[in-house]
Structure 1
Amino acid sequence: MELWPRAAPEWTRTIGVFDLETTGVDVVSDRIVTAHVGLLDESGRPVRSASWIADPGIDIPAGATAVHGITTEHAQREGRPATEVVAEVVAALAALFDAGIPVVAYNAPFDFSMLKHEALRHGVEPILVPRPVIDPLVIDRRYDRYRRGKRTLSVVAAHYAVDHAAAHEAAADAIAAGRVAQTLAARYADGMPLTAAELHTRQIGWARAQADSLSEYFVSIGRLDADVDGSWPIR
């Protein structure tokens, strides 16, 4: 009798997707520049989407502009007040979580922590316990631990043959991350938790173990000052 792989988990049929582009990588002091929250169907097709550009209230460093293409002048001209943008992004994500829809975010602690600190800065009630969250970075590291090379979204998307033509644009990154998550769920269906809630819980442990492994590596090469935070999906 021929054995077939288990079907992809049911949570893959409808997923939220979330991504931020920012003024930098410090989740406490840097600011949101663009954001995207959307919904994908089981084929990875966007069925709902919302994108924002904010005036962050500070200058956007040239290095950040080189990544996402938004200058200070562009954000001041085209962006909406950051308080409004942050409130709307929080509300869009909260609605997905309230509906029990898992939200995919690549390297989730960055985006959710950044959003938390922006919410606190602007007097918006933050999402302190985002759940359920799907993080393709954590999942890929768990199921293909020994693959060499970088694990950026662009590299991982290419590895799984997921189109990612406009890297570092919030909508493109969010959609690509969602499709990578669906691809991972199908490829590793036999070992993947059946529900988004269970997968969320498993990722907490996986992320911690991955951080511990990275810390051990840094110690082995003499980088004793490296600080690796394994908190997931928010710091």
Structure 2
Amino acid sequence: MTNTSTGFDATRMFSFDLETTSANPLEARIVTSALVRIDGRSVDAVEHLADPGIEIPEGAAKIHGITTEKARAEGRPHDEVLAETVQQIKQAWADGLTLIVFNASYDLTVLRQLTGDFTVTGPVFDPYTVDRIKDPYRKGSRTLTAMCEHYGVELGNAHEATADALAAARIAWKQTRKWPEISRMNGGELMEFQAVGYHDRQSDFARYLEGQGKDPSTVNTSWPMQG
């Protein structure tokens, strides 16, 4: 894993977001992929529209606004978008940037499921997971929209991939100001902090479900990818 010796630098980030065909990361295919490179004052954002090669369910289209017809007419081949997304993430890690992913266990699991061999080779900062660990008893939703309101971050068009990626990066920046000890963690420490904290929060949730007489076996406890 690269970039493990120095603390997290919130001025050098690569924020990433997918909009997909399914809420299940083991079934999802990419519809849009947003990649936002933040290096000091330089912000370079690109968004790829993919033809997922399957029908986009109505429920998914209502969330992100991309219909099957639009994806087929205007989207690039799915495997091209997938390959370019992975290549740019790997390049960002090679360049010493931290990958910002809101709810990383979803998006990174999608990449692994689609490629069959995607691995994490650099640091990941997941604002959703950090929020759950550092502020576990706060009431209310932890959706991206809700967290933007909580941290005072402008979201723009929710569920539009570039807007979501930019918002996640801004939340990450605000979190390092609220909890400066995070910015002093090196890459390995940051990853361990999130993986252990995620496991603990999810295990608590599984025990809660079990206490309610519900099946806890579907609760994922692995971060940053499922399984």
Task: Specify whether residues 104 and 191 from structure 1 end up closer, same or farther in structure 2 by C-alpha distance, changes over 3 A only.
Answer: closer
Q: Aligned AA for 2:173?
A: Q
**1:35-67, Cα deviation, whole Å (9 max, x unpaired):** 01111245xx66112210000000000000000
The offset of 1:143, in angstroms, is 1.1
2:186 pairs with 1:195: yes
Alignment match, 2:76: 80
1:37 is paired with a residue whose SS is: strand
Give the 4+ runs in structure 1 shifted more than 6 A: none
**1:120-142, Cα deviation, whole Å (9 max, x unpaired):** 3xxxxx42224200001111011
2:156 pairs with 1:165: yes
Count of residue pairs the alignment pairs up: 220
2:13 pairs with 1:22: no
2:8, 2:184 within 8 Å by CA — same for their partners in 1? no
Task: Specify whether residues 11 and 71 from structure 1 end up closer, same or farther in structure 2 by C-alpha distance, changes over 3 A only.
Answer: same
TM-score w.r.t. length of structure 1: 0.88
Percent of aligned positions with the same letter in both sequences? 36
Distance 1:73 1:61 in 2: 12
Larger deviation: 196-205 or 156-165?
A: 196-205
The equivalent position to 2:171 in structure 1, one of 174, 177, 180, is: 180
Alignment match, 1:205: 196
Question: Is there any run of 5+ residues in structure 1 with no aligned partner, and where?
Answer: 1-8, 121-125
1:142, 1:206 within 8 Å by CA — same for their partners in 2? yes
What is the root-mean-square deviation of aligned Cα atoms in Å?
Answer: 1.6
Task: Specify whether residues 172 and 46 from structure 1 end up closer, same or farther in structure 2 by C-alpha distance, changes over 3 A only.
Answer: farther
Q: Aligned AA for 2:48?
A: W
The offset of 1:102, in angstroms, is 0.6
Which aligned pairs between 1:1-235 and structure 2 lie closer than 5 A? 10-41=8-39, 47-120=43-116, 126-190=117-181, 193-235=184-226
2:10 is paired with a residue whose SS is: helix
TM-score w.r.t. length of structure 2: 0.91
